[in-house]
Structure 1
């Protein structure tokens, strides 16, 4: 399964686009400076004012993900960020499927889109029959 078919390519593009759109929405909310950002961050145990730095970090990693030459690095670093979100939600006792695992869902979209679009990843992450 090392060649990329048209359906695989387009499915990968759609998954990646959905992932990117969600990330842009999340970054936009954090950059907006709305009070709800600080309230939500406080509920998760983060100090006030950390929404902006996190948004800048997310944007930098998203740019890496969007550039074909650095997409793999972007995906790896974003996965680390999502791991931190899982740990944060787990630590404060949020619901498992809606909050704790949301970072895992995002990582699956990011990696799934990349895997379907980039044939060079398939030998590294093969699907066995």
Structure 2
């Protein structure tokens, strides 16, 4: 982003003015200061003794570009977060579906094995009614 060429104290006073109008704390002006000067270290004298000043047109133009950039970065960040959450939801659903499919397969396998297990126990317990059923359904050979 382009930087505006004014002294630090004037820049900070302009940022303070906008911040006060918007009800922001003084630290907000330090963040704006960092965007132009690359450091949020304003200096104790400037930070504590600078009074807000009505910004120049050049500063307002720079600030408008700064706000646009911040908004675009914020939107990009939120979109990335949303996409990450969406991908996590898709992955969670895929895992859940996979687990349900595995459970259905296991249940179907048990259902297929059930008559054979019943026939086995019928042979061992000599349950004539169950043995007759198993033989009539082709589960047991005569």
TM-score (norm: length of structure 1): 0.26
TM-score (norm: length of structure 2): 0.24
Higher relative contact order (CA 8 A, sep 6+): 1
Higher Cα radius of gyration: 2
